[in-house]
Structure 1
Amino acid sequence: MHQQKVKAKVLKSIESNTTYLGCTFYLEDETWYRVQNSTLDNCSFRSNVKFEDLRNCTFDNCGFSGEFVLDLSKNSNCCVQDAFDFTFLTKLIISKKNLHELPEEICRLTFLKKLDLSYNNLRELPKDFTKLTSLRWLNLSNNHFSEIPEELYSLPSLEWLSFANNYLPEVPEEISKITTLKKLFLSNNRLTSVSPRVGELTLLQELHLSRNQLSQVPCEIGRLTNLDCLYLSHNQLDSVPRELGNLKSLRWLYLSRNYLQDVPQEFSDLVDLRWLYLNENVLEEVPFDVSQMSSLTVLSLSTNKLTFLPKEIGNLKSLRELKVAENQIAEIPREVCDLQNLRELDVESNVIRHLPDEIYRLKKLTCLSASNNELSVLPKRIVELVSLHQLSIGGNHFASFPSQICSFRALKHLDLSFGTYVDIPPQIGQLQKLQTLNLSHNLINELPSQIGNLSLLKDLILSSNHLQSLPSQISKLKRLRNLALNNNALDSIPQEIAQLQFLSFLALEGNALTEAQLQFLEESLPHCEVFLGVTL
């Protein structure tokens, strides 16, 4: 193939089959380039450069002002060995290449700052890996490591290290030798212990230990005063050390899916904490003074054994999300309505009989989930929640359709499933921003024609009712994608349904439709899957 020659030019792109002599490149920072069979001599790169292919390319006496990145994971034709001649590389990505061992030649890349070896089959590293003294960022996640290679303990600049999704049984005491570490990812391993010497990693900002088999964590973690994020979810913890209260910089704390019955009172000292996840434990009460945690924006206590919420929860003025679903709470204290920044309130699956009358004060509330409780009425002034986008109140004890619902003009998602509704009022058509409507498992025998006014509706779930027919106005739901009509009493489908050209899912099991009607649907809606064995 003819080799063109370019000399002493300022360029914004780079091509294959070209010889460049003394050129200056300003390449697009967000563009990934594929170049083959090119030679570059005495050239200068004045921006970050990113390549997916550099086969048969040479760089002689070239200068680089920014990062030089080579990503071999995006090109199945590239051989890993192709990378090792580019000793000036600063970032190399060799993920998803089915590597069982790492070639020794990688140790020649002494300028390397970032190395991604994720999603391979590696069990060890080459002995000369210690020569990569510039390495700051190393991703070894999703491999087959059963121990942390000792070569890492000699890397003087390492700040970011991931062994997520491997087979590590412990965090050894030698981890303390990597004193430069700022972020350490060890989630999804087989950890049963963490060395107390992890507390010597005083620069650590993030520590990820979720999805392991830890039954305890060392109190020395409390010495990590720069720690910003601590992930301990999905373990076997029945307690956590009180020294966690010393982590004054902590903003994210994840303790969900453990066996915690109690939490240290010292948690109240975490005044900068913003996200606290304690869901799926066995807490019987909120065991610390939440009123001190003035910066908290998300508090998740779902799936515990709480029977009440303390009134002091109303002091969390920064709170945006309060999640207490799946507990045994009988009453929401009115002080919750003092949370003027609250966007999401999830109280599903409790034993709540009444929502507080003052709920109208939550002017920023966008999501209210109160399904599966003991509710029989809604507060009159709930209609003042003008920002509400999502409302779930299925599985309660409303005798009739709550009239206030039709006043929520901003509503996008409405769940009224598992009730005893027989009639749906025509005013449902006023909810013209609605995208999802779930009326399944009720006693509805007829839909109002105004259902056709819901022009933005994408999902309409009417399973397990007593419907005998559908209004022809359903054809106006031009954006409808999913329509569940299974387990009703339908003996016909309006022909206008053929106008729903975006419909992709139609469930009809458990009706009295004829073969001819089903054939009509299949012919009229060629892009729609008609399901006759699906229950929603």
Structure 2
Amino acid sequence: MASRGRGGRVPFDKKAGFRNQSQQSKEAVFDTLLKQARQSGQLNLSGRGLSEVPQKVWRINIDVPEEARNISLDNTEDRWWEQVDLTKLILASNTLTTIPNDISNFPALTVLDIHDNKLEILPTALQSLENLQKLDVSRNNLKTLPPALGYVTSLVSLHVEYNQLSQLCDEIKCLQKLEDLDVSNNELTRLPQALGYLVNLVKLNVSNNKITALPPEIGDMSGLKYFDATHNQLTQLPQEFGNLRHLELLYLRHNRLSYLPILENCTNLKELHLGNNNIKGITSEHLEHLTAINVLDLRDNKLCQIPDEITLLQDLQRLDLTNNDISGLPYCIGNINSLKSLVLDGNPMKSIRRDIIMRGTMELKKYLRSRIEEPDLVTNGNSEKQGSNTGIIGGSDSGRSHEMYQMKTLDFSKKQATEIPSDILEAAEKAEVHNVTLQKNNFIDLPSNLKCLSGFLTELHLSNNKISNLSGEIGLFTNLMCLDLGGNILTDLPDQISNLTKLREIIISCNRFTKIPEVIYQLVKLEILFANDNKIEVIDVNGLSRLPVLATLDLQNNSITQVPPELGNCPLKSLLLLGNMIRNPRPAILSKGTPALLEHLRSRIVT
């Protein structure tokens, strides 16, 4: 055994270098953690560079612990014999290649998190974890899921995204309590018929795979509310898909769909994202069953016209028709009072003059209404249905907490509120909600008691309130990916916005900005910026060039008179400038769409 030098330090070992010291410190840390875990039932060993888990971890509830050797029965601080079973084990972000069958030593486990490792296979001993509710094995090298997984019948959440799965085992049908399943970013080409047995599944994410068709049995998943199949190779949906009567969010962008089935029973659908497909038509029969829709994304398809029955969607707020073959619009669209954003960029519009389109959504709707000979064509309800908003998705008070737990969403909009009741926030904090919607209230600032959710939120919607100065406490919400501040009376943003390093989308539309706030240019992950309907006078190209992944920039209905040619060098996919006082580029250039506009701007750069 090596002798200690001055100060009790371990001397340098020529054969092992300083490794002995680091190993010794790591072991000491383990002993401390194991002691705490015996008391709390939770053990977190994430991010420790482990290539294997020490054996004493697996025997934490079996072996007599180190602290028991020289302990007195009179010592009430270290009552090791009163240890509790391990219920939560986190091994994430290490370099583990295997998990041994010793995992069966933890039959009381409810949470097992092994994401971000190098696992190629899961142990069969998983079947002994009869109390396991949450399993996260995402970001590994798994090629299959073991049939033993079917025995873990208490599972509520299963995450296996970012692996190399080519198929899902049929035994998945045994997971009758499963509510959240994420198999995105794998190599799946099909989904098993067995999925139809998962009648309690609320959220299903199969995006970024190679799936060519969905099984008809998907229509049996009666509890499904969220379905994401973005970036696959779907050419059609089964007719049974229309049986999903509780479906609220449907993402089918970047597939090969040429048409949709009639979603006859999907009467609760709020968002339908169909962009980047080959859809040639939406019929009246499609629309008559989608009356709850708020967002309809049909961009980058092959649509030639929109039917008059679009007015059935009296809750529609955003209609994206970018890059289609539409030459005109039905005048009755002007009667959809809830519609706030109608995007037509990249269409060969002929029946409506360009100068009218350039004025933006509100002016365009006003023009369309003026062209209707018989104005009162809309008979299907009001734009805002009285009594339809229960505050939290799902309805009755008794079900609020469960709904928040399932959907991770708190909807407290249209309440005329100036604060959020503490009991609702307590329930939201317990559910660890990710999305909070506070639209159409009377908030004058960020609600101070919202801070309790700062560690969870990824989306925050504060549009249509009375906010004139946003508190710097917004900087506490460091996990935000989407921030909606539209429809307020803001003139600037606090410097603390720069703390939102994960922000991908920010909406500052319909405020009183005279320029894009400088702090926005520090958000290097920003992909979408809506700044329309303000008083912005100048486009700051230098600032925008500091946003390397910015793809969508909406500056419609501002006071911009000049467009710098250098803007053409920005990697934008959608640039909206209608409704400004721009002389150059000419309206004819603006109406040709983003690629043509950017090319024109680049041609004007003086070298």
Q: Classify the TM-score, shorter chain.
A: 0.5 to 0.7
Decide whether aligned partners of structure 1 residues 395 and 477 sit closer, same or farther in structure 2, where only a CA change above 3 A counts: closer
Tell me the distance in 2 between the aligned counterparts of 1:458 and 1:255.
Answer: 40
Decide whether aligned partners of structure 1 residues 200 and 345 sit closer, same or farther in structure 2, where only a CA change above 3 A counts: same
- Counterpart position of 1:54: none
- Counterpart position of 2:12: none
Tell me the distance in 2 between the aligned counterparts of 1:169 and 1:286.
Answer: 33
* Paired letter, 1:163: I
Decide whether aligned partners of structure 1 residues 396 and 188 sit closer, same or farther in structure 2, where only a CA change above 3 A counts: same
- Matching of residue 173 in structure 1 with residue 100 in structure 2: no
On the 8 A contact 1:284/1:306 being kept in 2, the answer is yes
- Counterpart position of 1:113: 41
- Counterpart position of 1:185: 136
Decide whether aligned partners of structure 1 residues 367 and 125 sit closer, same or farther in structure 2, where only a CA change above 3 A counts: same
On the 8 A contact 2:356/2:363 being kept in 1, the answer is no
CA deviations 1:362-388 (Å, max 9, x no partner) are 121122111111111122111223223
On the 8 A contact 1:323/1:345 being kept in 2, the answer is yes
Tell me the distance in 1 between the aligned counterparts of 2:117 and 2:191.
Answer: 25
* Paired letter, 1:229: D
C-alpha deviation, 1:303, in angstroms: 1.4
Tell me the distance in 1 between the aligned counterparts of 2:356 and 2:264.
Answer: 29
- Counterpart position of 1:7: none
* Paired letter, 2:41: K
Q: Give SS of 2:309's match.
A: helix
1:403 corresponds to which of 356, 367, 373: 356
On the 8 A contact 1:385/1:408 being kept in 2, the answer is no
Decide whether aligned partners of structure 1 residues 102 and 180 sit closer, same or farther in structure 2, where only a CA change above 3 A counts: farther
On the 8 A contact 2:243/2:264 being kept in 1, the answer is no
C-alpha deviation, 1:123, in angstroms: 2.3
On the 8 A contact 1:324/1:347 being kept in 2, the answer is yes
User: Which residues in structure 2 correspond to 1:215-364 (within 5 Å)?
Assistant: 215-310=166-261, 312-338=262-288, 339-364=290-315
C-alpha deviation, 1:103, in angstroms: 2.3
Tell me the distance in 1 between the aligned counterparts of 2:322 and 2:27.
Answer: 50
Decide whether aligned partners of structure 1 residues 152 and 456 sit closer, same or farther in structure 2, where only a CA change above 3 A counts: same
Q: Give SS of 2:39's match.
A: coil
Q: TM-score, normalised by structure 1?
A: 0.59
- Counterpart position of 1:211: 162
Decide whether aligned partners of structure 1 residues 294 and 99 sit closer, same or farther in structure 2, where only a CA change above 3 A counts: farther
* Paired letter, 1:182: Q
1:376 corresponds to which of 327, 333, 337: 327
User: Which residues in structure 2 correspond to 1:440-455 (within 5 Å)?
Assistant: 455=512
C-alpha deviation, 1:455, in angstroms: 3.4
Q: Give SS of 2:354's match.
A: coil
Tell me the distance in 1 between the aligned counterparts of 2:143 and 2:228.
Answer: 22
- Counterpart position of 1:144: 95
Tell me the distance in 1 between the aligned counterparts of 2:337 and 2:282.
Answer: 21
CA deviations 1:232-266 (Å, max 9, x no partner) are 11111111211110111111111111111121111
* Paired letter, 1:323: H
- Structure possessing the higher radius of gyration over alpha carbons: 1
Tell me the distance in 2 between the aligned counterparts of 1:480 and 1:172.
Answer: 62
How many pairs were matched up? 348
Q: Give SS of 1:289's match.
A: helix
User: Which residues in structure 2 correspond to 1:502-517 (within 5 Å)?
Assistant: 509=566
CA deviations 1:137-173 (Å, max 9, x no partner) are 2222222111124443211321011111111112221
Q: Give SS of 1:207's match.
A: strand
Tell me the distance in 2 between the aligned counterparts of 1:481 and 1:142.
Answer: 45
C-alpha deviation, 1:178, in angstroms: 1.8
* Paired letter, 1:121: G
On the 8 A contact 1:386/1:408 being kept in 2, the answer is no
Decide whether aligned partners of structure 1 residues 199 and 255 sit closer, same or farther in structure 2, where only a CA change above 3 A counts: same
- Counterpart position of 2:86: 135
Tell me the distance in 2 between the aligned counterparts of 1:481 and 1:342.
Answer: 36
Tell me the distance in 1 between the aligned counterparts of 2:44 and 2:535.
Answer: 46
More strand by share: 1
Decide whether aligned partners of structure 1 residues 480 and 254 sit closer, same or farther in structure 2, where only a CA change above 3 A counts: farther
Higher mean alpha-carbon deviation, 219-228 vs 149-158, is at 149-158
Decide whether aligned partners of structure 1 residues 149 and 392 sit closer, same or farther in structure 2, where only a CA change above 3 A counts: farther
C-alpha deviation, 1:222, in angstroms: 0.5
CA deviations 1:314-346 (Å, max 9, x no partner) are 431000111111111110122343212111111
CA deviations 1:177-199 (Å, max 9, x no partner) are 22211010111111111111100
On the 8 A contact 2:88/2:112 being kept in 1, the answer is yes
Tell me the distance in 2 between the aligned counterparts of 1:288 and 1:234.
Answer: 26
Q: Give SS of 2:43's match.
A: strand
Tell me the distance in 2 between the aligned counterparts of 1:378 and 1:115.
Answer: 60
Tell me the distance in 2 between the aligned counterparts of 1:355 and 1:115.
Answer: 57
2:107 corresponds to which of 152, 156, 169: 156
On the 8 A contact 1:164/1:186 being kept in 2, the answer is yes
* Paired letter, 2:116: N
Tell me the distance in 2 between the aligned counterparts of 1:365 and 1:235.
Answer: 34
C-alpha deviation, 1:434, in angstroms: 10
CA deviations 1:72-131 (Å, max 9, x no partner) are xxxxxxxx99xxxxxxxxxxxxxxxx9699623432231123333333312222322232
On the 8 A contact 1:102/1:125 being kept in 2, the answer is no
Tell me the distance in 2 between the aligned counterparts of 1:480 and 1:184.
Answer: 52
Q: TM-score, normalised by structure 2?
A: 0.52
Tell me the distance in 1 between the aligned counterparts of 2:122 and 2:147.
Answer: 9
Tell me the distance in 1 between the aligned counterparts of 2:195 and 2:172.
Answer: 7
Decide whether aligned partners of structure 1 residues 137 and 480 sit closer, same or farther in structure 2, where only a CA change above 3 A counts: farther
Q: Give SS of 1:170's match.
A: coil
- Matching of residue 196 in structure 1 with residue 147 in structure 2: yes
C-alpha deviation, 1:227, in angstroms: 0.6
C-alpha deviation, 1:205, in angstroms: 0.6
Tell me the distance in 2 between the aligned counterparts of 1:403 and 1:99.
Answer: 69
C-alpha deviation, 1:288, in angstroms: 3.9
Determine what percentage of the aligned residue pairs are the same residue. Answer: 29
Decide whether aligned partners of structure 1 residues 507 and 183 sit closer, same or farther in structure 2, where only a CA change above 3 A counts: farther
- Counterpart position of 1:124: 52
Decide whether aligned partners of structure 1 residues 151 and 320 sit closer, same or farther in structure 2, where only a CA change above 3 A counts: same
Question: Cα RMSD between the aligned structures?
Answer: 3.5
Decide whether aligned partners of structure 1 residues 361 and 408 sit closer, same or farther in structure 2, where only a CA change above 3 A counts: farther
Decide whether aligned partners of structure 1 residues 480 and 131 sit closer, same or farther in structure 2, where only a CA change above 3 A counts: farther
On the 8 A contact 2:307/2:330 being kept in 1, the answer is yes
Tell me the distance in 2 between the aligned counterparts of 1:116 and 1:480.
Answer: 52
Decide whether aligned partners of structure 1 residues 123 and 162 sit closer, same or farther in structure 2, where only a CA change above 3 A counts: same
Answer 1 or 2: higher relative contact order, Cα 8 Å, separation at least 6. 2
Q: Give SS of 2:334's match.
A: helix
